[in-house]
Structure 1
Amino acid sequence: MNAETDAEAIDPLIGKMRAAAAPFRKTLQELHRRHAGLADGAVATYIPELALADPSWFGISVATVDGLVFEIGDSGRPFSIQSISKPFVFGMALQDHGRDGVLRRVGVEPTGEAFNAIILDEATNRPFNPMVNAGAIATTDLIEGADAGERFKRLMAMFRRFTGRDVHIDNAVFLSERTTGHRNRAIAHLMRNFGMVGDRVEESLELYFQQCSALVTCRDLAVMGATLADGGRNPLTGETALEPSYVKDVLSIMLTCGMYDFAGEWAYRTGLPAKSGVAGGIVAVVPGVAGIGVYSPPLDAKGNSVRGIRVCQDLSQEFGLHAFEARFAGASLRDSCNPPRRGG
């Protein structure tokens, strides 16, 4: 008898769990097969290190609030988090400064502009929201710490709480970001002129480049999404990554602004809080149920993973996950991938 069958003999519930999860694993396998052959989109090249990605890389992962993780394809392949870091740093800023403190520096309105547009709200001089580069730089500037080292350690600790493991920086990507980041420097200094970032503007830019260069996997994204889905509690470690009172702030911004200037159509068709990154990742959240992570480097013209969008749309339609679905959003997905509970 091997360890697996021995465990099932000791506790028959383990066998029931695997049986209940099997149909959902098949669903992910079918999704991966359905979209793996897509040839649309192109790998990002404006950050030279990102251009080295293989367009065929493709992973899907789903993590539930009960701590189950389902994976297929290149779900364990590391890649830089890029803009997917933005909502999580936004949550960190909210904990450091509260809603009013953050809103003095960053708005919450969708822009309809490209993510790297050099534009501020003419009425307030604030960046429009924390998901575009201007707002993200202003949000990163709000990370507290006595010096650059302390601020960096706090940033890495935040990623660890959300993923449940230590996260590291891809130095090659960081150096590539720093070398080519002149547009972001222009945005930061424009905001410095209006008082939207403080005197440590160069230090905050370095921190922003490091933040975007953090290495994650598709599985990490799913766990990060599941942490938001469970009110800020990491389902694998039980640790609180974000105060529950701020989770709705983060999810609201992800739903309205998280997919660049595709955010409106995303909200209309898919209806899930989500954030994409130009390395090819997408994280989506089914509140109370699960987090979804997809990785595929080819991007559409607006900077979103082509396969990632298709996977999330299919999951939303098949399981009724849209936030405004008439039936309870997520009920079908919960039934498919959650096991029977002990005593239930």
Structure 2
Amino acid sequence: MTLEIGRISDAVQSAHRDNEHLAGGTNASYIPFLASVDPSLFGIAVVTVDGQVVEAGDTGFEFAIESISKVFTMGLAMEHVGADAFHAKVGADPTGLPFNSVMALELHNDLPMSPLVNAGAMSSTSLVPAVGAEDRWRKILAIQSAFAGREIVLSDEVNASEQSTNFHNRAIAWLLYGGGAMYSDPMEACDVYTRQCSTLITAKDLAVMGATLAAGGINPLTKERVVAAATVPHMLAEMTMEGLYTASGDWAYTVGLPGKSGVGGGLIAVAPGQLAIAAFSPPLDPAGNSVRGQAAVAQVANALGLGLYRTPGA
């Protein structure tokens, strides 16, 4: 199914108009920088696999990528160690618990279950082959930039705010080390993981990053291959299982697209072979997902009939 750009534009504009004043949710407060972001900001962007871009609202505002970064580090680690080895080491199952849960580790002998919660994400970071923290960081920043099609940069302000409050993640890193699921110095992995969450992106960037997955690993704007085509299905599967944390099953049930959220207010959904939808709005629900973002992305996906589980006549 090929979608006309006019139809996509109508869906995006309608979703922005219908959800611009949607109430509910609060900014993440446990990271001081995120609490200070204007909660009225709201943008939606769609990028197709042939590079067409549709935008509405605050799509040029730079916000912290946060947990969405886990997707791209996961892809980088998979490329280096192989999908089977990555699956064995990090897993592909939902935890059923919050994204920063220590209990999820305790219940599974200090082993991660998914690369899209904090424990598995730090394990993924540690799997990226590197000679020290700076080499590891350069590779992770480079993969984010390749997915976005432009140079992504670290926000020193966000990173300082994150590093000053990441004690919980440091504890998780040591638990992973004790369980044999940390493949570098645990504090190095925690530091680099914190940095990867502290880069700045826009809703348009996020849509380009998702469209790169939709296009089988080729960035639709730069035309450069970012990850192997064989890696993409595994990345999308991980996004389906845990991309929206404890709301991932509900998202699959109602929207039917692989997705990923971040506590900075970003959200992405990928329609393989067609396009990606991205949204940004800081207020979050209790699970850590953007309230307006979920509503808007779902509206666009449903208006365009993109759910992967739809059958003829549905």
How big is the shift at 1:121? Answer: 6.8
2:271 to 259, 278, 286: 286
Find the aligned partners of 1:256 and 1:24 in 2 and give their Cα distance.
27
Is this contact kept in 1: 2:11–2:303, CA < 8 A?
no
Provide TM-score, normalisation by structure 1: 0.87
Larger Rg computed on CA atoms: 1
Alignment of 1:174-185 (within 5 A): 174-185=159-170
Asked whether 1:159 is paired with 2:163, we answer no
Q: Percent identity?
A: 43
Structure 1 position 199, deviation (Å): 4.4
Deviation at 1:31, TM superposition (A): 1.2
TM-score, structure 2 length as denominator? Answer: 0.95
Q: Is the 8 A contact 2:127 2:184 kept in 1?
A: no
**Contact 1:59-1:296 within 8 A present in 2 as well:** yes
Structure 1 residues 32-43: aligned runs within 5 Å? 32-43=16-27
The structure 2 residue matched to 1:57, chosen from 20, 35, 41, is 41
CA distance in 2 between counterparts of 1:180 and 1:145 reads 26
Deviation at 1:22, TM superposition (A): 3.8
Aligned-partner residue type, residue 182 of structure 1: F
**Structure 2 counterpart SS, 1:275:** strand
* Bigger Cα displacement from structure 2, 307-316 vs 56-65: 307-316
Q: Distance in 1 between matches of 2:158 and 2:310?
A: 40
Provide Cα deviations, 1:88-129, integer angstroms capped at 9, x if missing partner: 111111011112332342111111100110122745642111
Q: Does 1:112 align with 2:99?
A: no
Q: Deviations over 1:28-78 (max 9, x none)?
A: 222111101112111111001100111110000000000001011000100
**1:342 alignment counterpart:** none
- Separation in structure 2 between the aligned mates of residue 89 and residue 21 of structure 1, nearest angstrom: 31
Could you tell me which residue of structure 1 aligns to residue 256 of structure 2?
271
1:309 aligns with 2:294: yes
Alignment partner of 2:310 out of 325, 330, 334: 325
**AA in 2 matched with 1:66:** D
C-alpha deviation, 1:328, in angstroms: 9.9
Say if 2:81 is the partner of 1:97.
yes
- Tell me the equivalent position of 1:341: none
Higher mean displacement: 25-34 or 36-45? 25-34
| 1:37 alignment partner, SS class | coil
Per the alignment, residue 14 of structure 2 pairs with: 30
- 1:258 is aligned to 243
* Kept after mapping to 2: 8 A contact 1:44/1:50: yes
Task: Give the match for residue 135 of structure 1.
Answer: 120
Cα offset for 1:153?
A: 1.2
Kindly provide the amino acid, as one letter, of the partner of residue 298 in structure 1.
Answer: P
Residues matched between the structures, number: 310
**Structure 2: 5+ residue runs without aligned partners?**
none
Q: Tell me which moved more, 28-37 or 247-256.
A: 28-37
CA shift, 1:268, in A, is: 0.3
**Which 10-residue stretch deviates more, 278-287 or 318-327?**
318-327
Unaligned ranges ≥5, structure 1: 1-19, 330-344
Which residue does 2:57 correspond to in 1? 73
CA contact (8 A) 1:188 1:197 kept: yes
Look up the SS of the partner of 1:89 in the other structure: helix
Deviation at 1:283, TM superposition (A): 0.9
- Residues 105 and 197 of structure 1 are in contact (CA less than 8 Å); yes or no, is this contact kept in structure 2? no
* Structure-2 separation of matches of 1:117 and 1:161: 31
Deviation of 1:256 after TM superposition, in Å, equals 1.4
State how far apart, in whole Å, the 2-side matches of 1:105 and 1:190 are: 15
2:135 corresponds in structure 1 to 150
The letter for the 1-side match of 2:297 is C
Q: After TM superposition, where is structure 1 displaced by more than 4 Å over at least 4 residues in a row? A: 121-124
